[in-house]
Amino acid sequence: MDVSGVSNTTSQAGSAAKALSGNFDTFLKLLTAQLQNQDPLEPMDTSEFTRQLVQYSSVEQGIYTNKNLETLIGLQKTGGLGSAVSYLGRTVTAEDDQAALANGEAAWTYTLPRAAENVTLTVKNADGKTIYTGTGPKTAGANTVVWDGRTNAGGTAPDGTYTLEVAATDSAGAELTAPITLSGRVTGAETLDGDVVLTVNGVRIKLADVSSVKETPAEETTTS
């Protein structure tokens, strides 16, 4: 479980506070030296130093306020990760166009608002290169497609994460929106770039993208 995001959130404020402390020490040394070497008959005007002291105080207060806010945000993210742990072992559904190819199988589900006349499926690898195109089910509602890893070039794609694109049109030639979802059992939870992320079927998805959660059937739990 990765909670490194908590310490990272405070690093910027900590660096700013350290830099401010060094500048303030230098300022005080300069002020002391000028006071010690001033002409007693014509004492220096301290109003400028007073103004700068007030500015330093204001900046310091702002930095430490930000530091406290960043700490609270880090704790909030940790709390989010803590709640994500409760998803482990459960089956979730999330809107995501990625799927992991393993043991010669990668599965996606897309939903059509109404029956389609044409549905074209495009599978791309991690580099964004198209390696397979074909036709898909045209019925209204949820349609699940399983890709066996075979490419249009006649080869077999290696295990990994692949992206599906769905292009659908109805009988009038109008484009149909077909959101793609991923369903599977949660096997991991972590923080990544400030987001709480779940691992589902070997694919990382954001917790915020999860649309449904249910208990995993006992037979799936024992066989996976």
Report the distance separating Cα 21 and Cα 182, nearest Å. Answer: 51
Q: What percent of the chain has pLDDT over 70?
A: 63
How many Cβ atoms are within 10 Å of 5's Cβ, its own excluded?
20
pLDDT tens figures, 6-36 = 334 445 555 655 665 566 667 667 767 766 7
Q: Dihedrals φ, ψ of 144, to 5°? A: -100, 130
Q: Dihedrals φ, ψ of 157, to 5°? A: -70, 145
104 contact partners, CB below 8 Å, separation of at least 6? 148, 149, 156
pTM assigned to the model: 0.58
pLDDT tens figures, 84-114 = 778 888 898 989 999 999 989 999 999 999 9
